[in-house]
Structure 1
Amino acid sequence: MEPPSITSHLAPSGEVRDIEKAAHTAAPISDPSVHVPTDTVNDDGLPPLDTSPRGWLAVVGGFACLFVSFGWMTCIGVFQAYYGSHQLSNYSASTVGWIPSTESFLLFLGVPIFGGLFARLGPTVILIIGTILHVGGLLGVASCHTYGQIFATQSVVSAIGTGAIFVAGTTAVGTWFHARRGLALGIVSAGSALGALIGTAVIPVLFDRIGFPWTMRAVALTYFVLLIVAIATTTRRPLPADHPHNPFRISHLAPVSLLGHSPVLILAIACFFYFLGVFIPYNYIVVEAEDAGDGVRSSNNLLVILSATSTVGRVMPGWLGDRYGRFNVTIGFTAFSVVLVLGVWIAAPWRTGRIAFAALYGFGSGTFVSMVPTLIAQVCPDMSKLGLYLGAVYIVIAPSVLIAQPIGGVLVSAGDENSRDRYVWLKVFSALAMTVGVMGFVAARASYQSRVGKGKVV
């Protein structure tokens, strides 16, 4: 007797036949041990998976999308430090921390909303919406002076736009690839690392040379040009003519029903805890260095180093994951990041220790950022529904990034200024949260492998 297919476990019974009907074009399971022909046009006339020029052109557009969305979000450590010593110097670190945390939260909260709209609107319309909000929000920040103004323009308007841009770039690329999906999404994710690298290196210099308002206008103009490139190049792979048409429902904007599938739910919980800790170093290593007496330029260079090594950490693990299993690679590198927090950031709270930590942690944490969409695609049985699956997981992730930075601010305030390291409790919290996340990835891998069968490389 033929064993039941993976789709019979991951989809309601009424959808199984539709999913299996589209299997040869929608790349239902991201199993690198299964050979997928990539050098010929499909019998139905659709572009081939993995080798289509349009697919690799979408990678270019996705790279630009991540540069201006996740890359921008990774730069918020620069603003955390700048606001605390300039416009918002009268506010506590915890209060200022709500600006970047809300910004991250609304980026992730935008994923289910725009992911649910992706199948109906496609990447172009979503990118236009995202461009208007993100660029418009940054132009608004240039004229802001109060906490409320900065919060509204940067943490709300711009952040919602970044969510739309992130969804369009990531989801569109995912539809074009199967066997090389980890590599393709890794290259796309490298756009965020490069965006963070350039942003963290250039923005503080521009603050000094042309001032805050014109810096924000320059960033907005740069992002606008990149988004024009993204709009021109980002497409999704066409569906076969006989692919079932699923009417849009309001529930698609919050697809929590998909969390009923155990691999999806466990993966979402693992991501929640890992996100709770993984970005704390990005946002506090600069502040820590300045408090230790390092100059502003020297402190900011830590973020530059972190972002530079993160670029490599975005691409190489995706390539490895396509060969040795995407869950396997994710577990290895996320565990490595935990070891770095415990063994370097906590153990060596001085300048050389922070430099070593930034260089190594950028590489390790970069893996996680790039592999999350790849893991979601792996547990998604139908690539035409990838936006919905992304939305389901990011609904769970979003609260973690909302509370992480304010918690961090409280832990910093609770530290003893006369102790060896007043940031030690912040670092311990980061390590513990990520440790729970690693355990979750192990559990998600086991759940997924029980569905696809023993012997599969996952």
Structure 2
Amino acid sequence: MELQKFDGRTRHDKRNANHFRDTSSAEQMAIESGDDNHNVAHATKSTHDTDSAPDGGFTAWMQVVGGGIVNTFGVYQTYYESGELFQTSSTTISWIGSVQTFCLLFIGALTGPVFDAGYFRALLYAGSFLVVFGQMMLSLCTELWQVVLAQGICIGIGTGLLFVPSVAIISTYFSKKLALAMGFAASGSGSGGVIYPIVFHRLQPAIGFAWATRVIGFMMLATLLIPLAVMRVRILPPKARKLIDWSAFSDVPYMTYVLGTLVGYMGLFVPFFYISYYAIQQKFTDENLGFYMLPILNSASIFGRLLPNIFADKLGVLNTIIPCSFITSIIAFCLIRVDSQASIIATAVLYGFFSGVYVSLPPTILVFLTPDRSLVGTRLGQGFATISFGVLISTPVAGAILGTDSWTHTWIYSGVLLFVASCSFVAVRVLKGEGGVNVAH
């Protein structure tokens, strides 16, 4: 295999390329291990040559192990609503989580091309530091603006630096099993969404907000050591990329999907942010069980991120997300009629499971809607950057509806947006397929 040294700034001339053809086995091991002086092994196989993807093996699956992203804001939303840390409205509190999720997605517009330029390890180190640093700074916060800076902006930027590169690197290791690999990676963030809220809920009354938050910070540090240890770039594009792929804006299926997902994400996160508060405020559960609504939802989401992806590799990603998306919108409407402990638990489980496709399949679909695999990083970045604006305004709007109206209209808001997104996915299905089963496959 021909190897070419790639330092993210310059491509070496032909003389240096010839030198690396004769690289010793020891130096090659240094390249593949991520040594700072030999950062990336760049195969002569093209990034859009999907036949070269290993589709398995120890190294490939290690990239999946390192690919999970943590998001547990829902439990903090409920805690902040209690007024123990500061007093403010539901709408204002929602901005914290919205800013965090917005930063996660929008930063992808920058990290995609940066990843393509060969700075994957730098993104991984910087993102890991900011996530842990932001969590530790959150433990010192006593006012709203401090929480916005630590939890909203610092952690948000950190997760943004990790998100698109983690997705993009998996797409270079998998082709036929890509949806399954993405599902396993996404289930990692679902696991964090189960464990961290429980840790916070159990520790906060005993040791206080500050130390409960620090414990989660140490757990995040331990978790992030896994991708730092195992994630390695397999191939990189042969040349630098622009920040934006302007041709994507004339790609009707791609843009229809991006805008549809933007609308879907506006509705998606409303139950994630509010279901615990809803259960407690409406007295469907006591305060203790109410806090567990988010872990219950996230537990079901783990299976919802994984099981549909198993079928997606065989049935096609669009054929999988469409029915799950419609069911998710129906379940959001069902929250209107919840009136007991049993019904809200059942609804949380069902919503968590079927909404899981919104986490695991969108990156996969964006990859499949990008015929030229060398543009994956850029198109993922600009796609999620566009989607991020929907996330930014989503839950604050829901909080405003709740503050001036009722829970009924809050759930209608969520359900309608999810339904519109489902219809847009059908439109992409029609645009991309002519009756074939493996659409966007």
Bin for the TM-score computed over the shorter chain: 0.7 to 0.9
In the aligned structure 1, how far is the partner of 2:386 from the partner of 2:197?
29
Letter in 1 for 2:384: Y
Letter in 1 for 2:54: L
* 1:121–1:349 CA distance, 2 compared to 1 (3 A): farther
- Identify the residue that residue 58 of structure 2 maps to in structure 1: 53
In the aligned structure 1, how far is the partner of 2:79 from the partner of 2:209?
10
Deviation at 1:313, TM superposition (A): 0.6
User: Does the alignment pair 1:300 with 2:281?
Assistant: no
For structure 1, the 5+ residue unaligned runs are: 1-21, 30-35, 37-41, 43-47, 416-421
Query: 3-state SS of the aligned residue for 2:63?
Result: helix
User: Does the alignment pair 1:185 with 2:182?
Assistant: yes
Letter in 2 for 1:83: Y
Deviation at 1:290, TM superposition (A): 1.3
Asked if 2 retains the 8 angstrom alpha-carbon contact of 1:256 and 1:392, the reply is no
Deviation at 1:259, TM superposition (A): 2.5
Asked if 2 retains the 8 angstrom alpha-carbon contact of 1:306 and 1:362, the reply is yes
In the aligned structure 1, how far is the partner of 2:431 from the partner of 2:232?
33
In the aligned structure 1, how far is the partner of 2:246 from the partner of 2:415?
29
Deviation at 1:146, TM superposition (A): 0.9
Asked if 2 retains the 8 angstrom alpha-carbon contact of 1:138 and 1:158, the reply is yes
In the aligned structure 2, how far is the partner of 1:356 from the partner of 1:121?
46
In the aligned structure 2, how far is the partner of 1:330 from the partner of 1:247?
33
Q: How does 1:121-270 map to 2 (within 5 A)?
A: 121-239=118-236, 245-249=238-242, 252=243, 254-255=244-245, 257-270=247-260
- Identify the residue that residue 332 of structure 2 maps to in structure 1: 341
In the aligned structure 2, how far is the partner of 1:256 from the partner of 1:267?
16
Give percent identity, aligned residues only: 28
Deviation at 1:25, TM superposition (A): 4.9
Identify which range, 311-320 or 165-174, moves more after superposition. Answer: 165-174
Letter in 2 for 1:152: L
Query: 3-state SS of the aligned residue for 1:279?
Result: helix
* 1:255–1:130 CA distance, 2 compared to 1 (3 A): farther
In the aligned structure 1, how far is the partner of 2:390 from the partner of 2:127?
23
CA-based RMSD of the aligned residues comes to 1.9
Query: 3-state SS of the aligned residue for 1:280?
Result: helix
In the aligned structure 2, how far is the partner of 1:455 from the partner of 1:155?
43
Deviation at 1:86, TM superposition (A): 3.2
In the aligned structure 1, how far is the partner of 2:277 from the partner of 2:163?
28
Equivalences, count: 396
* 1:354–1:24 CA distance, 2 compared to 1 (3 A): same
Deviation at 1:199, TM superposition (A): 1.4
User: Does the alignment pair 1:387 with 2:387?
Assistant: no
* 1:292–1:89 CA distance, 2 compared to 1 (3 A): farther
In the aligned structure 1, how far is the partner of 2:259 from the partner of 2:214?
38
Letter in 2 for 1:229: I
Letter in 2 for 1:340: I
- Identify the residue that residue 39 of structure 1 maps to in structure 2: none
- Identify the residue that residue 327 of structure 1 maps to in structure 2: 318
* 1:297–1:28 CA distance, 2 compared to 1 (3 A): farther
Letter in 2 for 1:80: Q
Q: Which digits, 9 at most, give the CA deviation of each residue in 1:302-351, with x for residues without a partner?
A: 11211111111111111100001110000011111112122x31222332
User: Does the alignment pair 1:437 with 2:421?
Assistant: yes
In the aligned structure 1, how far is the partner of 2:144 from the partner of 2:411?
27
Identify which range, 311-320 or 78-87, moves more after superposition. Answer: 78-87
User: Does the alignment pair 1:457 with 2:438?
Assistant: yes
In the aligned structure 1, how far is the partner of 2:385 from the partner of 2:44?
27
Letter in 2 for 1:336: I
Deviation at 1:371, TM superposition (A): 0.4
Deviation at 1:414, TM superposition (A): 2.0
Asked if 2 retains the 8 angstrom alpha-carbon contact of 1:142 and 1:213, the reply is yes
Letter in 1 for 2:318: F
For structure 2, the 5+ residue unaligned runs are: 1-42
- Identify the residue that residue 419 of structure 1 maps to in structure 2: none
Asked if 2 retains the 8 angstrom alpha-carbon contact of 1:131 and 1:165, the reply is yes
| TM-score normalized with structure 1 length | 0.82
Q: Which digits, 9 at most, give the CA deviation of each residue in 1:401-433, with x for residues without a partner?
A: 111111111111122xxxxxx300000000000
Query: 3-state SS of the aligned residue for 1:26?
Result: coil
In the aligned structure 1, how far is the partner of 2:427 from the partner of 2:232?
34
Deviation at 1:90, TM superposition (A): 2.1
Letter in 2 for 1:326: V
Letter in 1 for 2:436: G
Letter in 2 for 1:447: L
Deviation at 1:379, TM superposition (A): 0.7
Q: Which digits, 9 at most, give the CA deviation of each residue in 1:196-247, with x for residues without a partner?
A: 01112221111112211112211111111221210111122225xxx6x322
Q: How does 1:77-116 map to 2 (within 5 A)?
A: 77-116=74-113
In the aligned structure 2, how far is the partner of 1:360 from the partner of 1:437?
19
User: Does the alignment pair 1:26 with 2:47?
Assistant: yes
* 1:110–1:349 CA distance, 2 compared to 1 (3 A): farther
| TM-score normalized with structure 2 length | 0.86
In the aligned structure 2, how far is the partner of 1:303 from the partner of 1:258?
36
User: Does the alignment pair 1:317 with 2:308?
Assistant: yes
In the aligned structure 2, how far is the partner of 1:85 from the partner of 1:348?
22
In the aligned structure 1, how far is the partner of 2:194 from the partner of 2:436?
40
In the aligned structure 1, how far is the partner of 2:75 from the partner of 2:400?
19
Segments of 4+ moved more than 6 angstroms: none
